[in-house]
Amino acid sequence: MNLKGRNFLTLLDFTPEEIIGLLDLAVEFKRMKKEHIPHNHLIGRNIALIFEKTSTRTRCAFDVAAHDLGMQTTYLSPSGSQIGKKESIEDTARVLGRMFDGIEYRGHGQKLVESIAEHAGVPVWNGLTNEYHPTQILADMMTIREHFGDLKGRKLVYMGDARYNMGNSLMIGCSKLGLDFTACAPAQYFPKQSLVERCKAFSDTSGSHITLETDPLKGVEGADIVYTDVWVSMGEPESIWEERIGDLTPYKVTMDLMNRAGDGAVFMHCLPAFHDLETKIGAEMGAKFNINDMEVTDEVFRKYSDIVFDEAENRMHTIKAVMAATLGYE
Ligand code: CP
Ligand code: NVA
């Protein structure tokens, strides 16, 4: 696998072999990290971390991974740069490309990260856009493989807003790597038909299936992984909460739903999760709509928390693999 100089904007751009290669590299980095074996071969390099939306995992994963590889990082916060306000994306990309060896970007439309990639002249990594969250999928696949020992033939069911970054990206990852993927949601929350068609072509090759299902009880039948995400994503208006709670409550991951999934099924979540009222927004919505949780019950979240936090840890190992591979780690 030679990914030197490549961008990492969406898994659509990568072959199954390249994705597996990144997972294998992440496993190797995880082993080295656990055994305290230094792997700072990219010493002297500098990377920029641009976050136009907030982050805990992705920011920390890029930061720690970069430092482990010997690199320095510069963080540009949602309010701390000129991007898009006083300076165009193109000019910003051309400036940063002169100073940095790689650029991570989290923001709104996919077109923004594509534009940075077009003009920067150095590898650009998508740290989440409205459409895709490709580094998250690598961590999810690494975690599924660690847990089950394989990927092909497993069934992943995504419950909730399946037309956004996580639903889209899981569908791409599953169809490329041979996992069955079910988007389980009201029909208006299904991924765009054009993306479904593209992914069906991948799943034909990998031997898996894509299903769009509105009935949560049918959707979880035979599932190995029941996956969900927040019902309102970053950047969406607060006014949308009421509608989302109304539309998506039937798709909340409850213990009853988990009991109807396949034998040995696990629950996964990219985090952050609204599984209780211990957050500002959770408490506000709890009081406003008289609820105790949202996309997943606290009981389910706690029962499967080991794998959910493995998934969070694996963000760091997989992001390290992406940076190392695209920057030419030797
Ligand atoms: N899963 C994820 O991307 O988390 P953050 O928003 O905290 O980076
Ligand atoms: N769909 C969520 C994912 C967070 C990791 C969001 O975009 O806010």
Catalytic option among 270, 275, 293, 317: 270
- The pLDDT of residue 105 is 97
pLDDT band at 71 (very low <50, low <70, confident <90, very high): very high
When pLDDT is averaged across residues 157-161 and rounded to a whole number, the result is 98
pLDDT over 90 (residue 317): yes
Whether 11-132+314-327 and 137-312 share one fold: the answer is: yes
pLDDT over 90 (residue 12): yes
Query: Annotated catalytic, 315?
Result: yes
Query: Annotated catalytic, 136?
Result: yes
When pLDDT is averaged across residues 2-10 and rounded to a whole number, the result is 98
Record the tokens describing residue 272, joined without a space: 């952050």
When pLDDT is averaged across residues 243-249 and rounded to a whole number, the result is 98
- 11-132+314-327 is a CATH 3.40.1110.10 domain: no
Q: Give residue limits of the domains in the chain.
A: 11-132+314-327, 137-312
When pLDDT is averaged across residues 61-72 and rounded to a whole number, the result is 98
Q: Please report the atom of ligand 2 found closest to the CA of residue 271.
A: 5
- The pLDDT of residue 330 is 83
Q: Return the SS3 of 37.
A: coil
Record the tokens describing residue 234, joined without a space: 């970053």
Q: Which CATH class is domain 137-312?
A: alpha beta
Among 125, 143, 270, which is best to mutate for testing ligand 1, by the most ligand atoms less than 8 A from CB?
270
> H-type helices in the chain, by residue range?
16-34, 57-68, 89-99, 110-120, 134-148, 165-177, 193-206, 216-219, 241-248, 255-260, 280-289, 298-303, 305-327
- The pLDDT of residue 120 is 98
When pLDDT is averaged across residues 48-54 and rounded to a whole number, the result is 96
Q: How far is the CA of 204 from the centre of ligand 1 (A)?
A: 31
pLDDT over 90 (residue 272): yes
- The pLDDT of residue 79 is 82
What tens digit of pLDDT does each residue of 74-95 get?
A: 999 988 777 878 899 999 999 9
